[in-house]
A and B are shown apart, each in its own frame.
Chain A
Amino acid sequence: MDFLPTLWFILIAVLWTGYLFLEGFDLGVGMMMKVFARNEKERRQLLNTIGPVWDGNEVWLLTAGGATFAAFPLWYASLFSALYVPLVLVLMALIFRAVAIEYRGKARSDRTRNAWDWALALGSFLAAFGVGAMLALTTTGLPLNANGDRVGGAFAWLNGYAVLGGLGVVLFALAQALAFTGLKTDGPIRSRANVWLRRGLPWAVLPLAAWAIVVVAKGTTAWPWLTLGVAVVAVLAAWASARAAREGWAFLWLGLFLLAGVASIFGAAYPVVLPSTLDPAFSLTVENASSSSYTLGVMSVVAAFGVPLVLAYQGWTYWVFKKRISPASIPAVHAVTPVV
């Protein structure tokens, strides 16, 4: 076992967990703009729960991508090029989502605002689905040749695992967002979020759990079964908290479910980072896909300095904006009238 490549494999799993944990509720809140909120005030209430933090949360995705490029260039190259079409869709989804968050408040007509809301909801859905599909496929395999290039055409990646992973992240994001909404708001949407979470939580975690079970069952390591057990316990605890309307606990237990689930999935997949479904000899592993130990060493120093710092100031941000957002917190819409 090479120490540095393994360390970076763990770190990348941590970055993806961080992304799914934090942007999970952002993406869920984005989707809820359409399926959950019932009027403009509720939509603004929802959006402002993630207002100060969503952009910072999205950087976890960029960092996961950048860290994969730096630490495992062959993994990055093969995965991203194999999933060309779905990633184009994810990129467009993220573009529309980001722009919609910033611009929806600038719309003058209800029609335009509604269009931005759709962009936000569909963009969030597609981004969550695409990232989920990508992570599922990197743990279950793609038809790669000896050079690591996808064979079989633009849609050779499309299979049940992709759908399972996609749904897994979408539904997890929705559950996490409901818990987050319960935790961060007051008024009608708080109680509605609690009801939805109580009813939906057991179903929402199923696809992600199924994906984890598949990967763990395929693997040869035993300990991921243990973390899988932790994930199950966490789900039960989350459900119990949701039923008791203890939103903060529900949110944290769901987070632990994610952490344990991702740990099981990546742990069972190790040391393979991207299996080839054509020939196991073509699979990319922690050893054959990684950068040199010099590069990994440099990046380890950077990460040892950077990651704790990020956690500290992002944590502080949540503390600064810890207040619940009630309908009364939302100021009147400021109409922009031309002076000239």
Chain B
Amino acid sequence: MDPLEIGRWQFGITTVYHFLMVPLTIGLGLVVATLQTAWKRTGKDVYLRATKFWGKLFLINFIMGVATGIVQEFQFGMAWSEYSRFVGDVFGAPLAMEALLAFFVESTFLGLWIFGWKRLPKGLHLATIWLATLASVLSAYFILVANSWMQHPVGVEMIDGRPVMTDVWAVLTNNTAIITFIHTLFGALAVAGGFLFGIAWFHLYRRRRDGVDTVGADRKVIVGEDPAKGAGRDKTDYLVWFKSLRFGGWIALVAFLGVAFSGHAQAQLMIHQQPLKMASAEAACHDGTAFSVFSFGNFGGDKTTCEDVNTIWEIPGLLSFLAHDNFTTDVDGLNTLIPQYQERYGTHLPDDPKYGDRAGQEIDYQPVMGVTYWGFRLMITFGGLGALAAAIGLWVTRRGTVPNSKWLSRLAVTSVLAPFGANMAGWIFTEMGRQPFVVAPNPDSTGVDGVWMFTAAAVSPGVSGGEMLFSLVALTAVYAVLAVVEVLYLVRYVRGGVPAAMPELAAHAPDQDDTPQPDDRDVLAFAY
């Protein structure tokens, strides 16, 4: 039982899992805050209903992000103590700032938002959701500053073998961090857009299938009502879904553009900062200009060599365009890069006790090519699929409702799931592509020279494989159970529609719900 391998699996599983909740929290938070702003401005019931419904789903998801987030902060010290000792001077600061400047605001003001519907004046109450959501965004920035330092160390000097922070401004304005933050933010919006689009589609589709809404001779929607189902099937209910669908679709499209452009900018940084990651994403062995659309081979093997790669289809010039904005400059392939790395960072791990049993082993500079190559492509494919679903969806719903077609409803499923897939694939790609380093060096010295750390040296020396295995199994099992629970509750509240999130709608007729009952005064507007 190798603690390093188990620890890496654990970090990967817990982080990818945590990042299922995070983009939805950020994206949906912005959506809910926007909807509540619309309600405050227009006073229209449709926006209040939309705020409450999406806010409910937001909260069901939010708590899982909170719960799994604590693991993230603790496991650096628990499983990666050598890493923490090495980078603590610079890496701990953004984490502490995240907690102090972002998490406090997020959690406190979200509590005020949830429980403050009747306690706070409307404007102040609106401010609480904005503060909570913007704090989520800020927390993403801080944690990406920390992560980007691992991809591109800046603002430090090596003193006594450890990087010591000398310029916090350089750390906070790391170009990798800024562009990754933008990319991640758009990725979060893509998730939220697809989520809105897909769920709204589902409700509109059921309204059509049940004959509530129909389509006239001009193929425009004729909105109906089902009095038996009250607020869950009235005309405002239609508006909630239709507005959400259009809003979500447009968010998904805009987010896709944002993700694409910021991703392009990221790749251009990566080619300088982590050329091995880029080459490995391309399975590019030889220097060249072509983007591989499809290659295959024994990527996943222990020691994938370039002989294993068969390029089936490539587009000449595209890789050079992605990397250098022209079609002719060669991009270095693995065969060129690996000897450079061996020359700079050694062919074998040093004979140092911190490498444990791995001391003196040969260093494999090539990331697992199957993971980086397919991770990169899956990210783009999923991202594209989500945007495509939204684009087609926006077109076919232009006359006011969704088509009464089960087959086309797959667009809805795609729009919800694909952006999650893109986020996962992107993170797996970028973190696996950094290997064998946990802190990647920058060969072209845009970073600080001489700062790097091999993942093999990062693990806690005092923690046994058995302990790691225990936590890996325990956390994975708990996470799996809770994933089922979260999806179950999300589905229940999706199927419950707006009345599920608004007890006042279920209890009264829709037009009288604002009349306060005299004995209502002390009753909590929201209670657990």
A binding-site residues for B, Cβ under 8 Å: 44, 47-48, 51-56, 58-59, 61-63, 65-74, 76-85, 87-88, 91-92, 94-96, 98-99, 101-106, 145, 147-151, 153-154, 291-292, 294-295, 298-299, 302-303, 306-307, 310, 313-314, 317, 320-321, 323, 325-326, 328-331, 334, 336-340
Contacts and interface: CB of A to CB of B under 8 A. Distances in A.
Contact of A84 (B99, B460, B475): B460
Interface string B50-86: 0000000001100110111111011011110110110
B82 A292 contact: no
Nearest to B492: A336
A67 B92 CA distance: 7
A83 B120 CA distance: 43
Contact of A336 (B70, B88, B493, B528): B493
A340 B489 contact: no
- Interface secondary structure of A, over-half rule: helix
Contact of A63 (B68, B85, B103): B103
B524 A69 contact: no
A339 B233 contact: yes
B470 interface: yes
Contacts of B202: 340
Interface string B97-127: 1111101110111111011100110000000
Given A85-B470, A149-B81, 9 more contacts: A51-B111, A69-B96, A83-B78, A88-B475, A91-B70, A95-B67, A154-B466, A337-B499, A339-B496
Given A55-B107, A87-B78, A313-B108, A291 B67 contact: no
Interface of B: 59-60, 63-64, 66-71, 73-74, 76-79, 81-82, 84-85, 87-93, 95-101, 103-105, 107-112, 114-116, 119-120, 159, 164-166, 168, 202-203, 206, 210, 229, 232-233, 460-464, 466-467, 470-471, 474-475, 478, 482, 485, 489, 492-493, 495-497, 499-500, 503, 506, 522-524, 527-528
B478 A92 contact: yes
Contacts of A99: 63-64, 67, 482, 485
Contacts of B79: 81, 84
A81 B460 contact: yes
B59 to A, nearest CB: 7
Contacts of B115: 51-52, 321
Contacts of B91: 69
B471 A84 contact: yes
Contact of B100 (A44, A78, A306): A306
Given A76-B77, A298-B168, A317-B112, A94 B70 contact: yes
B104 A66 contact: no
Contact of A88 (B76, B84, B89, B474): B474
Contacts of B87: 73
Contact of A331 (B71, B84, B461, B503): B503
Given A149-B462, A331-B527, A77 B497 contact: no
Contact of B528 (A56, A78, A101, A339): A101
B82 A291 contact: no
Nearest to B472: A88
A210 to B, nearest CB: 28
Contact of B119 (A71, A88, A321): A321
B489 A66 contact: no
Given A292-B89, A317-B112, A329-B522, A66 B77 contact: no
